[in-house]
A and B are shown apart, each in its own frame.
Chain A
């Protein structure tokens, strides 16, 4: 069940996306259900984008920036 979870993480390319990169550099482990989407700025986030992710079946949406 848990392997079908999908968490969509919308990340600002300047900070949160960089943090995700840093996690990779440091080999910090997290579940493969997290899927990172890069944004030019978290200001780009549209409520519709979040709702559409849920509508398409996402179990969680994270906005980080």
Chain B
């Protein structure tokens, strides 16, 4: 008997804890839950959403964040976001949301933690709260609303935002609450329990992800800027709330001092960033200030916008173009200086800024409003949490991580994502979050899929144990109508007895009844009994929104044994009763008409099924560089096979030529480690000298043709796999006229020289580096890594020869995040920095008089031309997509961005997904990146891949999809052009004959179709129908569906 047999057997927890319910925490939780792990999502406030829930718009696309970032959005939307899985009744069965909760202790080790949680009372049972708002109406206590940054008031009984998850009120029983118990008495569903007590709970988890986010720098610390003293000095989030449609002014920006629309606004950058005390760059402020300024220009007539900025840090896809648009199209003025003080004209509350212009002249200017672009600080709870968990913080107070393990904290089994590890924006937080989930999947690989879920039905759930579905195809429609009063709150405006009485007369209706709470278990049981006793086969539930409750009732349908699509929900609450108060007659007519249409439509409803597919349990990773190897290893470590395809002879990609990094760690060690692990891994098959030839199939089942080259001949073969990861990287542009001159080399070549010819480097006396050298006919964008690379090389030059004069000619120094300190360090080492502009770029020339290479540049601060001698001119050229990216994009049928990089499904919220399902994106193929960013991105892609692979035999695809009637197809290709996903194809095969014996007809693969219905709307031959939304179901001509009122106005009682 072995020792382990004598120990009591204890299951290791197949669960993870995610701390922080912002977008990072939500994203991580979803990926873990999809991989079959249980997730406890802990949030200290009453609702999820975090900081993003307060933002009205995201740069650079200005999308509304409310619908996209917080809770909802379905599959199949052309713009899907995080997931629909946080809608209360649609909640992912593997996610348990614990709001008003803090972590108080974490004992144990990686793979096996016991975490103690303190759960503060909410005083409201979220299962019973119907959002009627009566508690807030009766509550006598009024407080400043923190969500609106104190610009409006709220009650002590309140809901954080109109749309919150969980969708319920909570009671703030602070010292101001005098226990009047009015809310408890008034609540129609008895959901309020004011005697609820805080309680301690413990959960067993295998891993912890910290997604704590950040706090905003307190601008009051900088007294000279007048924040808190001058009413018209705002911090950026104030402005964000003012500009938001859900803000205190519904999107109208007004001056707090006189509620007047400002005519001039100044943004001051780097507030609490890039200074002595906060020696890092907050990374996001340049972009958000530009966004706010563009919004101001778009909304406020004749407003003048000025941004006082040191460097434009626009270092992501499309960000440079956004800046250019701000300046050139919107006329936003950028002033390159730091404003040291703000004063106020006390009579008008106008603000006076004194600043130094580029040429050194002092200038004074008056503004109606000043917005402080406040930076990011470590989250408030960081110190305490770090101590309790035993994790290290860096010198800035953010979570300590390793360059090559960017998502791991110093305690094994505890991972980090988002702004807690360094200041970062939404897209990078999402990447980190999925990446951290991949780390957890790897750690808990023996427990993946312990809690399998499927997407067989629109609600995510485990449907095993449901009754078999009743075949109703031969039955005539027998409709049951159930009208819910939402706890007697809707019948205030609607006459329910008349409603059900008339509804019962509609053809096909067997029974019509009033319910008080259709969504409560008792009512669900009651409906179920009716279905059985009256042999109902279709239901109309007149209650509330499809978006919040359809999944609940669909689940009930399925439990009863009816197809979930034989149901119609009538939105009486949100779209009738609550919006037509005081118009009872018309509202009643509308309600009845809505029910009439629903009864008509439900009779046309047919069962809808998704098709079950078997997922091939392997991944194809294209590209054997840092991202490809990292992604491949993460997938293989999680228990799935990987085909790693590399075009060249060796694994490593750009990492092969990366000798040192600014942070000091050795990338060559990382390379050796990765290559050894990849080569030795049982689950990874490496195909070098191999390229992708073709790629067909769909999520869960792709077939890819590959070609391996051997001494001039090639061997073709194909592999089957469930997912594809594109990690083809990028490269330094090596073509520029400058490079023809002797003495001009790329930064990369300089790095080679530093390593291989150090003696040559030590002899250099004058080195002039030129940044942002763009090859002709290439788009302009920030290549993100070059500034830091130039600084790293400049520091080496200074190290070898402190007397070497190193001058860096730059447009903007983009050392975001903690990289700022290397900029400071370089200046301390004596590296000189000279800014140039696009209007007057530096000129490299050969001075024959002195037989020397020189660079001519205009120094803006001295306002004169400089002629700099140079022994060597290293230039930073653009990082461009790998050769062949366009061809690969064509084979995979995925798009490229305007810069030529692969284009993700959605820039902010799906940065590692492609619009085509089952294909993911990692590393520099997306955009230039530092190694730590490429690693996070690769892990993120791996996590997304594992969520698919772990569905094994229960991958459900199809459902509400478009269907072609080949006999009607004229082969006009309209569908192929209009489909936003590029799915329809006109193909010629047996049985697929178009109009007039046309050879071939459109084919839409139900496993690929996203169900948006665009093709059905565009098809001129009307040959395509969207299941569940057929023309007949949309118009219901037979019963006079839309257009005029078929029901007379119901007289007021």
Residues of A within 8 A of B (CB): 3-4, 6, 8, 12-15, 17-18, 20-33, 35-41, 43-49, 52-58
Contacts and interface: CB of A to CB of B under 8 A. Distances in A.
B1045 A6 contact: yes
A32 B591 CA distance: 9
Interface string B420-463: 00000000000000000000000000000000000000000000
Nearest to B1035: A52
Contacts of A40: 76-77, 960, 1011-1013, 1026, 1029
B679 to A, nearest CB: 46
A20 B1042 CA distance: 19
Contacts of B73: 14
Contacts of B805: none
Contacts of A56: 1037, 1040-1044
B1034 interface: yes
Interface string B122-137: 0000000001000000
Interface string B46-76: 0000000000000000001001000011101
Most buried by B among A12, A15, A23, A40: A40
Given A26-B162, A27-B581, A32-B586, A4 B1045 contact: yes
Contacts of A26: 162
B824 interface: no
Contact of A43 (B67, B131, B575, B980): B980
23 contacts: A6-B1045, A12-B77, A13-B77, A14-B72, A14-B74, A17-B547, A18-B72, A20-B574, A25-B578, A27-B581, A28-B579, A29-B579, A29-B581, A37-B1042, A39-B1013, A40-B76, A40-B1013, A41-B78, A43-B1017, A44-B1013, A52-B1042, A53-B1042, A58-B1044
Given A25-B163, A40-B960, A46-B1017, A13 B546 contact: yes
Interface string B510-553: 00000000000000000000000000000000000111100000
A-B CB proximity, top 4 nearest: A56-B1043, A24-B574, A43-B1014, A44-B1013
B571 A21 contact: yes
Given A21-B547, A25-B131, A40-B76, A55 B583 contact: no
A13 to B, nearest CB: 7
Contact of B78 (A6, A43, A45): A43
B240 interface: no
Interface residues on B, range: 35 or more
Most buried by A among B79, B583, B1012: B1012
Contacts of B67: 14-15, 18
Tell me the dominant secondary structure on chain B's binding face: loop
B1049 interface: yes
B1016 interface: yes
Contacts of A3: 585-586, 1049
A20 B573 CA distance: 11
A12 B68 CA distance: 14
A23 B574 contact: yes
A12 to B, nearest CB: 8
B593 interface: yes
A25 B574 contact: yes
Given A17-B547, A31-B583, A41-B76, 19 more contacts: A8-B1042, A13-B546, A14-B73, A15-B64, A15-B67, A20-B574, A21-B547, A24-B575, A28-B579, A32-B576, A35-B594, A36-B575, A37-B1034, A41-B1013, A43-B1013, A43-B1014, A44-B1029, A49-B1031, A57-B1044
Contacts of B131: 25
A56 B1044 CA distance: 6
A46 B78 CA distance: 17
A48 B1016 CA distance: 11
Contacts, number: 147
B142 to A, nearest CB: 19
A30 B579 contact: yes
Interface in B549-585: 571, 573-576, 578-583, 585
Contacts of B579: 23-24, 27-30
Contacts of B1044: 4, 6, 56-58
Nearest to A43: B1014
Contacts of A38: 546
Contacts of B483: none
A41 B1029 CA distance: 11
A49 B1034 contact: yes
A58 B1043 contact: yes
A51 to B, nearest CB: 11
Interface string B929-950: 0000000000000000000000
B587 interface: yes
Contacts of B580: 29-32
Contact of B573 (A13, A24, A41): A24
B1012 A43 contact: yes
B234 to A, nearest CB: 25
B993 to A, nearest CB: 25
B710 to A, nearest CB: 48
A29 B1041 CA distance: 25
A44 B546 contact: no
B317 interface: no
B1043 A6 contact: yes
Contacts of A14: 67, 72-74, 77, 79
Contacts of A25: 131, 162-163, 574, 578
B1017 A45 contact: yes
A45 B1012 CA distance: 10
B241 interface: no
Interface in B329-381: none
Contacts of A6: 1042-1045
Nearest to B576: A32
Contacts of B1049: 3
Given A14-B74, A23-B574, A39-B1013, A44 B1043 contact: no
A49 B1035 contact: yes
A17 B590 CA distance: 17
A31 B67 CA distance: 25
Contacts of A15: 64, 67
Contacts of B581: 27, 29
Interface string B1024-1051: 0010010100110100111111000100
Contacts of A8: 1042-1043
Nearest to A18: B67
B774 interface: no
A58 B593 CA distance: 14
A20 B546 CA distance: 12
A34 B510 CA distance: 29
A29 B1045 CA distance: 20
A20 B578 CA distance: 11
A57 B73 CA distance: 33
A52 B1037 contact: yes
B589 interface: yes
A47 B545 CA distance: 27
A21 B548 CA distance: 10
Contacts of B1022: 48
Contacts of A39: 1013, 1029
A63 to B, nearest CB: 11
Contact of B593 (A23, A29, A35, A57): A35
Given A8-B1042, A18-B547, A24-B575, A44 B1012 contact: yes
Nearest to A12: B77
A57 B545 CA distance: 27
